[in-house]
Amino acid sequence: MARSSVFVDSSVLFSALLSNRGTARDMINSAIEGRLSLCLSDFAINEVRKNLDLKAPGVIPILDTFLSADIFRIIDPSPEIVDDVARTFAQKDAPIIAGAIAGQCTHLATYDRVHLLSQSDRILQLHGIVTAPPDQILAMLL
C-alpha cells in the first residue's frame, strides 16, 4: 500500500513539539516509522518558530531535530498557487492550502477549527484534499 501524503499545518506541528503524547506526536511517529509521508512548508515552519519563540523557546531544539531528521518533505508553493487559493479562501490560510496542493498531498492535518476545519468540505470539493484533525487522519490512514 502506498503511503499517504499529509500536509501538516503549523497548529499540528506546534502541538507535536509541546508534548510527546497525543495524536499530533503519533502522526510524527508514524512518519518516522515510514507509515506516513508528511509535508511542511517554510511558511508553517516559520509560523511555528515564531510561536515557540514567544511561548516555549526551550522546545526550539526539538523542532530543529525534527527538521534535520528528514521526517518532512518541505513544500513551498509558488506565489501563483498561493494567490489562486487566496481567491477562494482567506489570505491567512492560502499558504497552508497551497502547500498541500503543491505537495500533491491527500490530506491536510490541522487543529484550526475556525479557518481550515470549517472549510474542509470546500477544500475537498475544490482541491481533493481531506482536511481533518490528526486523530481522524490517523484513523483513516493507519
What digits encode the pLDDT tens for the residues 115-129? 999 999 999 999 999
pLDDT at residue 1, as a whole number: 42
Contacts of 7 (CB under 8 A, 6+ apart): 38, 39, 40, 41, 75, 96, 99, 100, 103, 105, 107, 108, 109, 129
pLDDT tens, residue by residue, 75-94: 999 999 999 999 999 999 99
Task: Please name the fold of domain 5-141.
Answer: Rossmann fold (3.40.50)
- Measured in whole angstroms, how far is the alpha carbon of residue 93 from the centre of its chain? 12
pLDDT at residue 3, as a whole number: 60
**Annotated domain spans of the chain:** 5-141
pTM, rounded to two decimals: 0.95
At 21 the three-state DSSP class reads coil
Mean pLDDT of the chain: 95
